[in-house]
Amino acid sequence: MITSFDDWPVHQSHLPIAHTATGDPNHYDRYFFNGYDSEGDIFFALAMGLYPNRHVMDASFSVIIGDEQVNVHASARANHDRMRCTEVGPVSVEIVEPLRQHRIRVDSPEHGLCADLTMDATSVPFEEPVFQQRSGLRETMHYTRLTQLGRWSGWIEVDGIRKEITPASVTGSRDRSWGVRGVGERIAVGAPVASAPQFYWLWAPVCFDGFGTMFDINEYGDGERWHHVPGTRHMRSFTLRYTFKNEKVVLDFEPIKHFQMFGLGYMHPEWTHGGWKGELAVGGDRFPLPVADPTALHHIHVQTLSRVTCTRPSGVHHGTGILETLVLGPHEPSGLTGVNDGAR
């Protein structure tokens, strides 16, 4: 199928852009953004995904105001034209200038959320090493991500009360990822692989005045690392130790609050990513923070907003960032043995 994007010199194969290079139903293309201030008075995030082989696209926008997380969700039939795949119901993403400026708009007053926000990049986009994972002989994960830091301007309305967002106080990050990973309803693919679910993921972009840092790591249950950003050394609790060339740097994280990725559809029983909900469905939910049961399966994926102290040979710097954690299944170095048991 020929669409408008085919008029651009962007082809990577003989196929028109509407057709993915693989027929895997778990092929996806995703946007993620977050923004926050250093006091924790505001935290917002957006996730938007396209699943071409499932003919689905969806989006969620979520805000923490005070002790409540407020969310709006939308899901729709995917448009074949990729130029029209950045708007789902009341939520849209505009690429104002690629890799430099992006605009988010939300118009869902019936669910208590409206917003008009612009992110201006303060760093180059960092291409993370390719994520690739197999379960037995079956490839279950093969995708690329980029991470970028920025500052936000605009406004957010929650229940009719508007809050101005200024670049002097609100920073954040974004990522773009595309490829294959588990999304949507499970599809039978033959004999199951006899292994318990396990995933250990840490991701920590941090904004300082004049510079930023980025860390990520994936480990197997025994602690063996299968994905990490080159140059990192080790992480204990909320302390990261880096070596940049000949400079040793220590980042200490002081948690402010936990943002539930559940509010963006991650592990959501109703608004799961890539699930078919009809031609267009829009909904919302909200819940108090902190959650009553942080070890509930749908609550273990969080982004922890943190004040971060960076100690370098040249001095001490203070910034704000997040530590995203998704720890599912056993992880021997952390003393975790079950699927979602708490640390001891």
Residue 22 is assigned to a structural domain of this protein = no
Lowest mean pLDDT: which of 41-45, 71-75, 312-316, 317-321?
A: 312-316
Residue 12 is assigned to a structural domain of this protein = no
Q: What is the pTM of this model?
A: 0.92
Token pair in block for residue 260: 């539930």
| Burial (0-12, 13-18, 19+ Cβ within 10 Å), 320 | buried
**In this structure, are residues 244 and 231 in contact, taking their beta carbons and an 8 Å threshold?**
yes
Residue 281 is assigned to a structural domain of this protein = yes
10 — phi, psi (to 5°)? -125, 5
- Cα separation, 46 vs 230, in Å, equals 28
- Cα separation, 214 vs 221, in Å, equals 23
Token pair in block for residue 235: 């992480």
pLDDT at 228: 58
The H or E element containing residue 112 is: none
- Cα separation, 104 vs 93, in Å, equals 5
How many beta carbons lie within 10 A of that of residue 36, not counting itself? 28
Q: How many structural domains does the chain have?
A: 1
Structural domain harbouring 81: 27-178+196-334
- The CATH number for 57's domain is 2.40.370.10
pLDDT tens-digit readout, 201-226: 899 999 999 999 998 888 888 888 76
Residue 8 is assigned to a structural domain of this protein = no
CA 342, 343, 344: angle at the middle one, nearest 5? 115
Is pLDDT at 136 greater than 70 in this prediction?
yes
Residue 184 is assigned to a structural domain of this protein = no
pLDDT at 21: 87
